[in-house]
Amino acid sequence: MKKSFIVASMCLALGVAAQAQTAGTSVPQIQVQGVGKVKAVPDQVVVRLGIENKGKTAEEVKNTNDAIVASVLKYLKEAKVPEKNIQTQRVSFYSYKDYTDKKDYYQASQTITLTLEDLSKYETLIAGVMSKGVNRIDGVEYKSSQIATYQTEARTLAVQEAKKKATDYANALGQKVGKVILVADGGGSTPPVFRPMYSLKSSTADESGDQTLAVGEIEINTSVSISFELE
């Protein structure tokens, strides 16, 4: 009875050891990261138009601001800008005291976000909205209508870079890159290219016919982490 117990215990111990050895066995592998970058010339521009007014009474300021907003929206509609590309945002209205003359004043402001799909219309439309009362541009952002295509290109480049890194390391180790074990998407980004806020005066480059929009390029980035077997 005692011998049977000892034999059973030994078998159990060997079984556990065998399982531990199997669980601890791993395939040699290497994990690398790749980054893909694609540069493109933007074909869209998002302009944030600002309307700001101040006065001595709340009613006066509100009415003035509302009238300008309505006039700008009407102008953009007549200029054949699609409604989906026009959005009113960031309405602000408040009172403040001017400590120079010790009087209370009111100020109202509103932003209209305008997306242009035809960059050749930029100069004309900016001059037009200025004539309707827009007195500030809160920023210009460049975009591309082909962003999905560029993102696909960036992902392909990221994978190629990751595989190149893995191959370099494997060669240095005297091994070869095997099949893929795991792929983890690191996400991507298209850093917005902004033109800073500035006030609009009655005399500008738009009126002289000079070009005031330089689109440059935008960069689409994406990254990936890939684990390969080593052979």
Question: Is the entire prediction scored with pTM above 0.85?
Answer: no
What does the pLDDT read at residue 188? Answer: 81
What does the pLDDT read at residue 204? Answer: 46
Copy the structure tokens of residue 222. 């994406």
What does the pLDDT read at residue 71? Answer: 97
Superfamily of domain 25-42+145-195+217-231: Protein of unknown function (DUF541), domain 1 (3.30.110.170)
Walking along the chain (231 residues) 10 residues at a time, the average pLDDT comes out as 43 39 68 96 94 93 94 96 94 87 90 95 94 92 93 97 97 95 88 54 48 81 96 92
Angle between helices 122-131 and 58-78 (to 10 degrees): 150
Work out the mean pLDDT of the chain and round it to a whole number: 84
How far is C-alpha 197 from the geometric centre of its chain's CA atoms? Answer: 19
Burial 199-219, CB ≥16 within 10 A → b, else e = ebeeeeebeeeeeebeeeebe
* Residue ranges per structural domain of the chain: 25-42+145-195+217-231, 44-143
Copy the structure tokens of residue 17. 């050891």
**Quick check: helix, strand or coil at residue 231?**
coil
Question: Does domain 44-143 bear CATH number 2.60.120.1440?
Answer: no
CA distance 77 to 92: 24
